[in-house]
Amino acid sequence: MSSHAHPKAVVGLVLVLGALVAAPAAPAAGDRTPPSKPTLRLAENGKTSVALAWTRSTDNSGSVKYVVHLWQDPTIVTLPQSQTSYTWTGLRPSVQYFFWVEAVDPSGNKSASNQLTVTTLRDGGPPTAPGNLQVTDVGSSKVSLSWDASADDTGIAEYQVLVNGARWGVLSSTGPTSVTVLGLAPSTHYDFAVRAQDLGYNVSPPSAVASATTAASTDTQAPTAPSDLIVYEQYCNEVLLLWTQSTDNEDPQQAIRYQVFINGTLDTIGATTGVGRTITYGVDGENTFVVRAVDSAGNVSAPSNPFTLDLDVC
């Protein structure tokens, strides 16, 4: 008998061995074991911040990361395994906040976590009144103002601008301490003041009053007509109106007022200023909507395109 194997037998053996080598190994069972629970505690409480700390979490993988949550804030903070503390800032005084921390392993398993409820410390009082309010520019429909910043132990959240004692608008404290009040009537006397609100919702006394009389207007040109009016039924007889804003030869778009007409009648609910949208209410049956623009001199634009909608009042 020959000592050499038959060629076909060798080929068959190679194919079998190759198949055995190429066959994938059976998949290992996935990691379903969550990390141990980090125990959360309060490290330090403040008026606008809360310092958190927690016990170190362990896992069979040897590696975890921590995810810190604040129920009132969609921001999620992710930290490495070596960091077992975090200070959440930008909070408001005397407000109750809910925190929790969970450990996550490389397989995505999440630990349990205890929730921590913390009420930040009380604010020390209202801000100082804004100082040195001045009129820096006067037009026929606008007056520009500037003032010195208020001081507060927790920080200023906003400035409220008062026109003849009524609140005209609100400015974020992150912007400049100046504003241009728009939409005023020509040849009219106005008294202005500013007050500050802090992060604890405390409001300062108003600043000293600064007065100005707007200039006479020679503006006789109406704004352009609002365009591309479209109306959507929201619920029952509630409707949403959208349009392309008008422009004016003197007023900026944010100062242009809009009048809404339903079936030819002026609708006071839908009146708005400086935006190309509003919500109002129609009547049962067919409704035709039209929008007109009005500038600060009282000039009224041509009507927008009409839009008709059939409503079934609930």
- Looking at the fold, whether 137 and 68 belong to one and the same domain comes out as no
Number of domains in the chain: 3
**What does pLDDT average to in each consecutive run of 10 residues of the chain (314 residues)?**
40 38 46 95 96 96 95 92 95 94 96 94 92 94 93 90 91 85 89 94 95 92 97 91 96 92 92 94 94 91 97 83
b/e 64-83 (16+ beta carbons within 10 angstroms → b): bbbbbbbeeeeeeeeeebee
In a domain, 264, yes or no: yes
Domain end call among 119, 153, 181: 119
Question: How many Å from the N-terminal Cα to the C-terminal Cα in the chain?
Answer: 101
- Looking at the fold, whether 115 and 136 belong to one and the same domain comes out as no
254: which DSSP letter? G
State the chain's mean pLDDT as an integer.
Answer: 88
Place of tokens 């405390």: 202
pLDDT number for residue 107 = 94
> Residue 288: which domain range?
227-311
In a domain, 31, yes or no: no
Place of tokens 């290992």: 28
Find the CATH number of the domain harbouring 50.
Answer: 2.60.40.10
pLDDT number for residue 164 = 96
- Looking at the fold, whether 135 and 104 belong to one and the same domain comes out as no
pLDDT number for residue 176 = 84
pLDDT number for residue 298 = 85
Burial degree of 122 (CB within 10 A; 0-12, 13-18, 19+): exposed
pLDDT number for residue 29 = 55
Cα separation, 83 vs 43, in Å, equals: 14
pLDDT number for residue 2 = 38
- Looking at the fold, whether 206 and 231 belong to one and the same domain comes out as no
Domain end call among 213, 248, 265: 213
Strand 238-244, strand 277-281: pairing: antiparallel
Report which of 149, 167, 305 is spatially closest to residue 226, judged by C-alpha positions.
Answer: 305
In a domain, 12, yes or no: no
pTM of the model: 0.60
